[in-house]
Amino acid sequence: MSDLKRALGEAVEAAFAAVGLPAELGRVTPSDRPDLADFQSNGALAAAKRVGKNPRELAAAVAARLEGDPRLAAVEIAGPGFINLKLAEPALADRANQIAADPRVGAELVPQPRRVLVDYGGPNVAKPMHVGHLRSSILGESLKRLYRFRGDSVVGDAHFGDWGYQMGLLIGAVTDEDPAIAAEVAALNARADLTPADLASLEPAAFAGVELADLDRLYPEAAAKGKADPAYRDRARKLTAELQARRPGAYLLWRRFAKVTKVALERDFHALGVDFDLWKGESDVDHLIEPMVADLDAKGLLVDDQGARIVRVSREGDKRELPPLLVVSSEGSAMYGTTDLATILDRRQGFDPQLVIYAVDQRQADHFEIVFRAACLAGYAAEGQLQHVGFGTMNGTDGKPFKTREGGVLKLNDLIRMTRDKARERLHEAGLGEDLPPEEFEDIAAKVAVAALKFADLQNFRGTSYVFDLDRFTSFEGKTGPYLLYQAVRVKSLLRRADQEAKEGEGAAAGPVAVAEPAERDLVLTLDAFDSALTEAYDRYAPNAVAEHAYRLAQSFSRFYAACPILAAEPAVRASRLTLAQTTLRQLEQALDLLGIAVPERM
């Protein structure tokens, strides 16, 4: 089942070919003059240049081929040689009925589904999540849903940053503060009887009091001390090495850190409508690093460089020199890139993705380029199989990455609370949801908050940075998430009323679509454009195309609703318009779901 735009494009391409012109010139686009036509083809102008003929004459020859196509009400030549196409009402009605009957509301499946892994979120133990993690979570969640909806088999992985130097810092800080914990670590370290199964399951009572708040409090201090004091840093490195060697005390204390962080993070993510299928950590690939280093060495890729071991990845023709992948530091430890490379191997042994999407800050572009090149050199991945999908920053009004008023990083948890407060305020201002039970009102406020944050983020192309403006994001007017929720809820309430009337025998139920009014035409054409929007979003890793479609659909419906009475129309017209309303709602909810936004029943 193809959309009208594509079907028409194929017909125009065939017409170009039939008059001896290159078929690909027949591409159609939505008309610049919707008052005159639905679609247009500019191909005759390009063709004229190529073959040195008059563009209007070529356009006329192509148009003649299209005469008699039952889908077209008019084919006209305009200006220097544009071909304007106006669809016939029955063709529009057919397409609307098709979309209405389609469980996928007009969206196609990819012809060849792939196994796709989305690496997103990327939170870290003890380091609070900042706005970069927020963007990654919002974008990654949307890509996961979009790829899945189009038929791929998709796994989303949080890639938890739970290994490395930061962990040594924390072990040091926590044991320094609490002698009982220090004693327990020492006692456990001395035990030789603990099996790997014990290490995976024991929860020593002495560690049970360590909470996320402690880590939040201790980490910044420890990080600062580590920077300033070489002895402190060395000790943190030693503790990191102990952890990585699985000394029981260090290891079990670290497990407590990872656990309390994960619980809190999952709660925050869930509140944002972000849920991972896999929660693997950097620690999970630690055992792969040694054999991997040996393999890189055997393949002749590892080079000694002032005590460190690196893989050179620069290529002839590079515009600038790319640094090598640092595999083993001069102190003998594995680095961020080492873990990423080992993770590629781990994923291959597991889900074996054909495509891996890394939704990570644009500022890590070099890191990924280096890792990907190393992976290709080592034969761990094929060219193009690993994709860094970068994004810009969420800025404050000063144009710099957003900070709290106190100058700190904004924690995700605080951001969610702040946005919910604002959402409640907005709902009260608009007099919405006030007569509903308090629990339902809270649920609505939560949904408005998520819609505000996600839509504000996803409506921009991911590469662009944007300014954090909670007032604007939460407004019920303009191009915002709350506006779209409000529109969807309005349609829901209209449909409820229609249902009630139909049940009481006071009005027709939904029935076949017929298209007559310009606003109906426009609405059907907008519904028809869903698949193109999804295709663009999918191909460019760019959910903003879906956001744009959702907004256009809401606007188109709004115009239709203003111009075309629904409930009061005569039965056949009412039935047709109800189907249009139902279909609009389904498609709008689907599009919003792909952005990770849920619509309340009422508000």
Cα separations in angstroms, 273 against 46, 234, 278, 449: 47, 41, 15, 11
Site for ligand ARG in 294-323 (CB under 6 A): none
| Contact assessment for residue 350 and residue 277, using Cβ atoms and an 8 Å cutoff | no
Is residue 149 a contact point for ligand ARG (CB under 6 A)? Answer: no
Measured on CA atoms in the order 145, 591, 138, 429, is the torsion positive or negative?
negative
Quick one: 160 or 441, whose CB is closer to ligand ARG?
160
In angstroms, the CA 120 to CA 275 distance is 11
CB of 540 to ligand ARG, least distance (A): 20
Pairing between β-strand 39-41 and β-strand 82-87 as defined by DSSP bridges = antiparallel
Q: Which is nearer to ligand ARG, 124 or 261 (CB)?
A: 124
CB of 161 to ligand ARG, least distance (A): 3
**In whole angstroms, what is the distance from residue 367 CA to residue 426 CA?**
42
Classify residue 415 by burial, with Cβ atoms within 10 Å: 0-12, 13-18, 19+. Answer: buried
Smaller CB distance to ligand ARG: residue 137 or 584?
A: 137
Question: Of residues 492-551, which lie at the interface with ligand ARG (CB under 6 A)?
Answer: none
In sequence order, what are the residues at sequence separation of 6 or more whose Cβ sits closer than 8 angstroms to the Cβ of residue 117? 154, 155, 156, 157, 347, 351, 353, 355, 356, 357
Does 124 help bind ligand ARG (rule: CB under 6 A)? yes
Say whether residue 481 binds ligand ARG (CB under 6 A).
no
Of 179-218, binders to ligand ARG (CB under 6 A) are: none
**Among 37, 126, 236, 360, contact with ligand ARG (rule: CB under 6 A):** 360
Residue 368's alpha-carbon distances to 136, 140, 192, 364, 386, in angstroms, are: 15, 16, 40, 6, 9
Q: How many Cβ atoms from other residues are within 10 Å of residue 2's Cβ?
A: 14
Q: How far is the CB of 281 from ligand ARG (least distance, A)?
A: 10
Q: Using CB under 6 A, which of 106, 156, 161, 168 touches ligand ARG? A: 161
Q: Which part of the chain contacts ligand ARG (CB under 6 A), choosing from 116-124, 297-305, 463-471, 551-559?
A: 116-124
By the 8 A CB rule, do 451 and 482 touch? yes
The nearest distance, CB 343 to ligand ARG, in angstroms, is 6
**Looking at beta carbons only, is 40 or 261 nearer to ligand ARG?**
261
The residue within the footprint of ligand ARG, chosen from 39, 149, 279, 358 (CB under 6 A), is: 358
SS3 28: coil
Q: Binding of ligand ARG at residue 119 (CB under 6 A)? A: yes
Helix (H) or strand (E) holding 356: strand 355-359
Nearer to ligand ARG, 13 or 282 (CB): 282
* Candidate residues 106, 122, 156, 248; the one interacting with ligand ARG per rule CB under 6 A: 122
Scanning 51-59, 88-96, 118-126, 502-510 for contacts with ligand ARG by CB under 6 A, the matching segment is 118-126
If you search the block for the tokens 């590629």, which residue do you land on? 344
Per-residue contact string for residues 323-352; x = within reach of ligand ARG by CB under 6 A: -----------------x------------
Q: Check residue 159 for interaction with ligand ARG (CB under 6 A).
A: yes
Residue 401 found at the interface with ligand ARG (CB under 6 A):
no
Largest CA distance in the chain: 91
Distance between CA atoms of residues 244 and 329, nearest Å: 15
Phi-psi region of 113 (alpha: psi -120 to 50; beta: other; left: phi over 0): beta
User: How many residues bind ligand ARG, per CB under 6 A?
Assistant: 8
Separation between Cα atoms, residue 582 and residue 603, nearest integer Å:
18
Min dist CB 353 to ligand ARG, Å, is 13
Q: CB of residue 530 vs ligand ARG: minimum separation in angstroms?
A: 31
Q: Which is nearer to ligand ARG, 106 or 123 (CB)?
A: 123
Give the interface with ligand ARG as residue ranges (CB under 6 A). Answer: 119, 122, 124, 159, 161, 340, 358, 360
